[in-house]
Amino acid sequence: MKIPEHPIFLESVDYIRSQIGFTGLNSAQQSVLERIIHSSGDLSMQSYLRFSPNACENAMHALKDGANIITDTYMAKAAISPVAKRTLNSNVKCILEMAPEFINASSKTRSSIGMQQMWLEYTNEECLVAPIVVIGSAPTALMTLLDLIQEGIHRSSLIIGMPVGFIGVAECKNRLLKSDLSHIVLEGSRGGASIAAATINALLRSASD
DSSP letter string over 47-110? GTEEE-TTHHHHHHHHHHTT--EEESSHHHHHHHHHHHHHTT---EEEGGGGS-S---SSS--H
State how far the Cα of 62 lies from the Cα of 128, in Å rounded to an integer. 10
User: Does 88 score more than 70 pLDDT?
Assistant: yes
The per-residue pLDDT for 5 is 86
For 18, the 3-state DSSP assignment is: helix
Q: Which of 6, 38, 61, 154 is catalytic?
A: 38
Classify domain 47-208 by CATH architecture: 3-Layer(aba) Sandwich (3.40)
Other CB atoms within 10 Å distance of the CB of residue 155: 13
What is the CA 50 to chain-centroid distance, rounded? 12
pLDDT band at 123 (very low <50, low <70, confident <90, very high): confident
Which residues are CB-neighbours of 20 under 8 A, at least 6 positions away?
33, 37, 43, 46
The per-residue pLDDT for 100 is 81
Which residues are CB-neighbours of 66 under 8 A, at least 6 positions away?
90, 128, 129
Other CB atoms within 10 Å distance of the CB of residue 102: 6
For the chain, the helix, strand and coil percentages under 3-state DSSP, each to the nearest 5: 55, 10, 35
Average pLDDT over residues 125-144: 92
User: Does 80 score more than 80 pLDDT?
Assistant: yes
Catalytic site includes residue 6: no
The per-residue pLDDT for 1 is 59
State how far the Cα of 94 lies from the Cα of 133, in Å rounded to an integer. 10
State how far the Cα of 37 lies from the Cα of 13, in Å rounded to an integer. 9
pTM equals 0.95
Integer CA distances (angstroms), 119 to 57, 135, 202, in order: 23, 14, 24
pLDDT digits (tens, 9 = 90+) for 148-190: 999 999 999 999 999 999 999 999 999 999 999 999 999 999 9
Q: Structural domain boundaries of the chain?
A: 47-208
